[in-house]
Amino acid sequence: MNHDPFSWGRPSDVQYGAYDTKIANASSNAYPSMNTQQPIITGTSVVSMKYNNGVIIAADGMGSYGSLLRFSNVNRLFVVGNSTVVGISGDISDMQYIERLLEDMEIENNYDNAYAESSEALLPSYVFEYLTSLMYQRRSKMDPLWNAIIVAGVEDGKQFLKYVDLKGVRYSSPSLATGFGAHMAIPLMRKLVDNDEDVKQIDLETAKKAILDCMKVLFYRDARSSRSFSLAVIDRDSGVDLQKLEVENMTWSFAKDIKGYGTQKV
Partner 1 sequence: MFRNNYDGDTVTFSPTGRLFQVEYALEAIKQGSATVGLRSEKYVVLVALKRNADELSSYQKKIIKCDEHMGLSLAGLAPDARVLSNYLRQQCNYSQLVYNRNLSLVKAGHLLSDKAQKNTQSYGGRPYGVGLLLAGYDNSGAHLLEFQPSGNTLELYGAAIGARSQGAKTYLERVMEEYLKIETADELIKHGVEALKHSLKDDTLSTKNLSIAVVGEDMPFTLYDGEDVIPYL
SS3 232: strand
State the minimum distance, in angstroms, from the CB of residue 128 to partner 1: 8
Measured CA to CA, the distance from residue 184 to residue 214 in angstroms comes to 8
Does 38 bind partner 1 (CB under 8 A)? Our answer is: no
**H or E stretch at 105:** helix 92-110
Residue with smaller CB distance to partner 1, 163 or 180 = 163
Q: Give the end-to-end CA distance of the chain in Å, rounded to a whole number.
A: 42
Interacting residues with partner 1 between 111 and 130 (CB under 8 A): 112-115, 118-120, 123, 125-126, 128-130
Task: Characterise 47 by phi-psi region: left (phi > 0), alpha (psi -120 to 50), beta (else).
Answer: beta
Residue with smaller CB distance to partner 1, 158 or 221 = 158
Going through 95-221 in order, the beta strands assigned E by DSSP cover: 147-155, 158-165, 170-172, 175-177
State the minimum distance, in angstroms, from the CB of residue 224 to partner 1: 33
* Size of residue set near partner 1 by CB under 8 A: 14
State the minimum distance, in angstroms, from the CB of residue 25 to partner 1: 38
Residue with smaller CB distance to partner 1, 78 or 126 = 126
Interacting residues with partner 1 between 128 and 147 (CB under 8 A): 128-130, 133
Residue with smaller CB distance to partner 1, 119 or 253 = 119
Measured CA to CA, the distance from residue 71 to residue 224 in angstroms comes to 11
Measured CA to CA, the distance from residue 134 to residue 153 in angstroms comes to 19
- Active site annotation includes 36: yes
Q: Which residues are designated catalytic?
A: 36
Q: Which residues bind partner 1 (CB under 8 A)?
A: 112-115, 118-120, 123, 125-126, 128-130, 133
